Amino acid sequence: MNKHNIIKPTEGELEILSVLWLNGASTVRAVNETLNKTKETGYTTTLKLMQIMFEKGLVSRDSSSKTHVYEAAITREKTQTQFVDKMINSLFAGSGTELVLHALGEHKPSNAELDKIQQLINQLKKG
């Protein structure tokens, strides 16, 4: 699958993927209960969205028992990369540096985060 054919999840799909990434394989009911902790979401809405996600290849489904169990078919890291790439290209004129500068200007990183950033800078300089 080339870069242009990658399916980018919608906001609602990302919420479900986040639950699956955090909790692992889950039933629709378990995902819906987790979603309802932060916002009211109907069971049938969650079910329909997860069925669509299955058709799109965003989740896999184990249908071997009466209750279907869903699992994320894409990784959090791959999804983050897709969204960051899109953001860099559409909002920051292709400049990763501009994205980083903007993010650091809007959010005061902790000393631990700054240490991680410095380690990354050191690795990039070593090439």
Q: Determine the pLDDT at residue 6.
A: 66
Strand order in the sheet with 69-72: 26-27, 69-72, 59-62
pLDDT score recorded for residue 97: 87
Task: Indicate whether 11 pLDDT > 60.
Answer: yes
pLDDT tens-digit profile of 20-63? 999 999 999 999 999 999 999 999 999 999 999 999 999 999 98
Instruction: Residue 21: name the closest of 96, 94, 74 by CA.
Output: 74
31/18 Cα distance (integer angstroms): 10
Residue 70, phi-psi category: left (phi > 0), alpha (psi -120 to 50), beta (remainder): beta
pLDDT reported for residue 22: 96
**DSSP of 25-51, one letter per residue?**
SEEHHHHHHHHTTTS---HHHHHHHHH
The answer on pLDDT for 114 being more than 90 is no
pTM of this structure:
0.75
pLDDT of residue 49: 97
Location of structure tokens 């990763």: 96
Query: Does domain 7-72 match CATH 3.40.50.1370?
Result: no
> What pLDDT does residue 5 have?
56
Q: Find which of 46-55, 74-83, 88-97 is predicted with most confidence, using mean pLDDT.
A: 46-55
User: Cα separation of 82 and 14, whole Å?
Assistant: 12
Rounded to whole angstroms, how far apart are CA atoms 21 and 54? Answer: 15
Number of H helices, E strands in the chain: 6, 3
What are the residue boundaries of the structural domains of the chain, listed by start?
A: 7-72, 92-126
Query: Which pLDDT score is estimated for 3?
Result: 47
